[in-house]
């Protein structure tokens, strides 16, 4: 990949190979330690217009980002900017959206990544993907997870609501109300956002109470959903 950086066929195959290698849990940390993510990111930037490179690159970064020890190094080296750029450059491609949102959702698990992710506009990228591909369960799950993670940081809550993150997770929960993963992430995001007093009025106005009542009724036996719904206080 480094020796033939201008060759798109090499970039496709190299990123595909690294995507596959990163499926193995034991390989993820060594791959990042040895700079595999740097090679993938360089290929994605050099061939930003090629959808196949974007798919493989985002999938590789998403697989690498599953490992807890990789959250911070990947963020530090700009993996989020590559995934975000790919999602925006290939906005109509559902496969790119799935892999990019998965990578960003994984990075958002680390609390220390929450503020820089928002600062760099990652929330807008995952929100756009969720709106464009609202019928795709994988995209919606990952996007809601990313927004839930970013809403952990207190300083992110007002900007997220201002930019409409709550409306995205609420729409996802309505569209995929039977899917526990979507509902848990959406309710978790709303709970985090509701912890900021300045957000509560907007959440109420836009129907958060009604949404929480709906999903609580859909999943009466799920302790996580019930806990999230009952802990949201909208004054």
State pLDDT tens for residues 196-219.
Answer: 999 999 999 999 999 999 999 999
Whether 122 has a pLDDT exceeding 80, the answer reads: yes
Query: Residue with structure tokens 């995001």?
Result: 189
* Spatial contact of 209 and 229, defined as CB atoms under 8 Å apart: no
Task: Please report the pLDDT score of residue 2 as a whole number.
Answer: 85
pLDDT digits (tens, 9 = 90+) for 65-80: 999 999 999 999 999 9
Q: Which pLDDT value is given to residue 128?
A: 97
159-169 mean pLDDT: 98
In which band, very low, low, confident or very high, does the pLDDT at 17 lie, cut at 50, 70 and 90?
A: very high
- Return d(Cα 79, Cα 58) in angstroms, integer: 9
Q: How many CA atoms lie within 13 A of 144 on its CB side?
A: 32
48 pLDDT above the threshold of 90: yes
State the pLDDT confidence band at 5, using cuts at 50, 70 and 90.
confident
Rounded Cα gap, residues 107 and 172, in angstroms: 21
Mean pLDDT of 177-202: 96
**Which stretches of the chain are DSSP H helices?**
8-21, 28-33, 36-46, 51-64, 71-76, 79-89, 94-107, 114-119, 122-132, 137-150, 157-162, 165-175, 180-194, 197-205, 208-218, 223-231
- Cβ density class 105-124: b for 16+ within 10 Å, e for less: bbbbbbeebbeebbeeebbb
Residues 6 or more apart in contact with residue 131 via CB below 8 angstroms:
168, 171
Q: Convert 45-81 to b/e letters by CB count within 10 Å (16 or more is b).
A: bebeebbbbbbbbbbbbbbbbbbeebbebbbeebbbb
The answer, yes or no, to whether residue 235 has pLDDT greater than 90, is no
Q: Mean pLDDT throughout 165-174?
A: 97
Quote the pTM value. 0.94
Closest to 173 (Cα-Cα) out of 146, 128, 224, 208: 208
- Per-residue pLDDT, averaged over 85-114, amounts to 97
Residues above pLDDT 70, as percent of the chain: 100
The burial class, CB within 10 Å (0-12 / 13-18 / 19+), for 225 is buried
For 43, residues 6+ apart whose C-beta sits below 8 A from its C-beta are: 1, 5, 11, 14, 15, 53, 57
């Amino acid at each position: 990949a480094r020796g033939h950086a201008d060759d798109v066929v090499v970039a496709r195959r190299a990123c595909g190979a690294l995507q596959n290698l990163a499926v193995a849990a034991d390989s993820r940390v060594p791959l990042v330690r040895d700079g595999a993510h740097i090679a993938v990111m360089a290929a994605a930037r050099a061939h930003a217009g090629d959808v196949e490179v974007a798919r493989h690159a985002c999938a590789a970064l998403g697989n690498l980002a599953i490992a807890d020890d990789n959250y911070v190094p990947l963020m530090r080296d700009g993996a989020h900017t590559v995934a975000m750029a790919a999602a925006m450059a290939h906005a109509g491609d559902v496969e790119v959206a799935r892999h990019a949102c998965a990578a960003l959702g994984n990075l958002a698990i680390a609390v220390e990544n929450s503020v820089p992710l928002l600062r760099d506009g990652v929330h807008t990228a995952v929100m756009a993907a969720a709106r464009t591909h609202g019928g795709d369960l994988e995209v919606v799950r990952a996007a809601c997870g990313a927004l839930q993670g970013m809403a952990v940081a207190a300083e992110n809550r007002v900007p997220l609501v201002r930019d409409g993150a709550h409306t995205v997770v609420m729409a996802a929960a309505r569209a995929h109300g039977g899917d526990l993963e979507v509902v848990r992430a959406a309710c978790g995001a709303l709970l985090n956002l509701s912890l900021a007093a300045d957000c509560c009025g907007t959440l109420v106005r836009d129907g958060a109470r009604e949404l929480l009542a709906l999903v609580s009724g859909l999943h009466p036996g799920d302790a996580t959903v019930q806990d999230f719904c009952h802990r949201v206080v909208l004054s």
